[in-house]
Amino acid sequence: MLAVATLVATWYSVWLSGIFHASAFPAPLEVARGFVEEARSGRLWTDLVTSLFRVTCGFLLAVLTGVPIGLWMGQKSWARTSFLPVVNFFRNLSPLAWIPFAILWFGVGDASATFLIFLSVFFPVVLATMAAVANIPAVYSRVAHDYGMGDVEKLIGVTLPAIMPQIIITLRVAAGVAWLVVVAAEMIAGRDGLGFAVMDSRNGLRTDLLVVAMIVIGLTGVAIDTALVQLTKIPSVRWGYDR
Amino acid sequence: MNVPAIQVLSVSRSFGPLEVLREISLEIRKGEFLAIVGPSGCGKTTLLNLLSGFDKPTSGAIVREGQIRMVYQQDGLFPWQTVGKNIALGLRDVRSQSDRVQQVQELLQLIRLADFENHYPHQLSGGMRQRVELARALAGSSDILLMDEPFSSLDYLTRLRLRQELSRILKERPRTAVLVTHDIEEAAQLADRVVVLSESPAQVRQEVRIAAPRPRDPTQAAVVRAMQLILTELNIEPDARQYAGARSNERE
């Protein structure tokens, strides 16, 4: 609370000092009015829901495909040696570089933003899953064998829980990246969403609305992370963080 | 008691050109507690893996009678499951849910961790974790207990305490036990018979029988005597007789 008050106070005093021209630096009160305006018109919520929807789709798609591929690569060393360079290449390629192709292939809208989020989450998830699987202590596999677990049972009862703490950390990082990417994607390849709201405010010279969009983006990012942190509190994954 | 639980018939095991075990023959009787000691890297764990059926001998054969369970050095418990669930893993053959619940309770009582059923392994001390491992291995209808340096990651006092625990637990739930260890004292205190292996390729160098009834004290004469014999076999004690002589001199 104190930090927020300090932030607003600093903001207000910079505005009072007049270092920046009033048209380039909105006052806190203007932003608050802008917020009410945006909230009343309903546009803010539509943009928020649109962006969240894209992130959720791209994120889920990437996790549902990335985890199985990572499992496979982690267990087969030949798959690891042959595909790792490819995965590494794409992981180090900024998903933003795909924006032109995304627009060419999927047009402007949900599909291209979802595609970009997918790219930004898929490769890190594959790599993290792979590394986690390859690092499962051999003794777990022996124990599973000793007590007569079948392949499917071993996958669900041993492999997945053994990598879960690692996966959750990766999901947190990846969700953060996805939230950054969706804003950038919508700024360039969107007609709605929070990223588009940023661009639209700029084009309309509405710096107050720009700040409104920025605040919502930041707060939503924090909310997503807070939600994912809850996963680390599940009793059956605590062992991965407590020691 | 003279029925063999495991027969090892001139078993050899090589990994490529590396010969680890050479012509090992052993017989482990039902209810017997056998310890296997030897210099580090001599193939003790390889032998245990052959006994458990995890690995196959290059030549020779192993005949087993009964269900085998393994206790690992450390961290063999599933960290994502509670103590109770880990123990229940050993009861997968028990059909009825209520029987399983009851047997888990009995095993928790046996290892004196009744209040820890819902704890996770990382919330327990190393000694407690090894006790849970023991309970899991004893659960259900297991007959043979293989232990691969089960106490090696623990501090000395905890180790002493767990040896007592193991003796007590085996008295309540008799099993054929094979203990691989580099701790001579542990072997001499716990086992009916200690097999001393030679340097790689490992062969049976000597068998030391300890007739004194279990449970024993580490300072008991029979245990100390057995340790002397084992150490001599391993070329660590120059000569057990000399040592015995030195002691009688002291007394004078």
Q: Determine, for residues B122 and A142 on separate chains, whether the beta-carbon distance falls below 8 Å.
A: no
Sequence-separated (6 or more) residues with CB below 8 Å from residue A37: A209
Tell me, yes or no, if B54 comes closer than 8 A to chain A by beta carbon.
yes
Could you report the per-residue pLDDT of A179-199, keeping only the tens digit for each?
999 999 999 888 899 999 999
Element (DSSP H or E) covering residue B171: helix B156-172
Predicted confidence at residue A69, as pLDDT, reads 95
Residues B62 and B164 in one domain: yes
Place of tokens 């680390």: A232
Contact indicator for B57, B30 with CB cutoff of 8 Å: no
CA B111 to chain centre: 17
Residues B20 and B7 in one domain: yes
Backbone Cα Rg of chain A: 22
Could you report the per-residue pLDDT of A116-164, keeping only the tens digit for each?
999 999 999 999 999 999 999 999 999 999 898 999 999 999 999 999 9
Side-chain-facing half-sphere of A176: CA atoms under 13 Å = 11
Residue B104 structural domain: 72-142
Minimal Cβ distance to B72: which of A139, A235, A243: A139
β B18-29/B4-15 pair status: antiparallel
Number of domains in chain B: 2
B45/B38 Cα distance (integer angstroms): 11
Predicted confidence at residue A223, as pLDDT, reads 96
Residues B61 and B101 in one domain: no
Tell me, yes or no, if B76 comes closer than 8 A to chain A by beta carbon.
yes
Residues B61 and B118 in one domain: no
Could you report the per-residue pLDDT of B55-66, keeping only the tens digit for each?
899 999 999 888
Share of chain A above pLDDT 70, in %: 100
Residue B79: strand, helix, or coil: coil
Predicted confidence at residue A124, as pLDDT, reads 93
Q: Determine, for residues A143 and B89 on separate chains, whether the beta-carbon distance falls below 8 Å.
A: yes
Could you report the per-residue pLDDT of B155-186, keeping only the tens digit for each?
999 999 999 989 999 988 899 999 999 899 99
Sequence-separated (6 or more) residues with CB below 8 Å from residue A159: A71, A133, A136
B-facing residues of A in 82-141 (CB < 8 A) are 137, 139-140
B-facing residues of A in 141-170 (CB < 8 A) are 142-143, 145-148, 158, 161-162, 164
Residue A71 in tokens: 């499992």
Residues B57 and B152 in one domain: yes
Q: What is the pTM of this model?
A: 0.83
Predicted confidence at residue B251, as pLDDT, reads 40
Predicted confidence at residue B187, as pLDDT, reads 92
Instruction: Tell me if A141 is assigned to some domain.
Output: yes
Residue A67 structural domain: 26-242
CATH number, domain with residue B12: 3.40.50.300
CATH number, domain with residue A122: 1.10.3720.10
Confidence of residue B214 (pLDDT cuts 50, 70, 90): confident
- How many inter-chain contacts (A to B, CB under 8 Å) are there? 45
A-facing residues of B in 82-101 (CB < 8 A) are 89-90, 92
Q: Is the confidence at residue A114, as pLDDT, over 90?
A: yes
Q: Is the confidence at residue B243, as pLDDT, over 60?
A: no
Cα distances from A56 to residues A53, A59, A91, A184, in angstroms, run 5, 5, 20, 16
Predicted confidence at residue A243, as pLDDT, reads 62
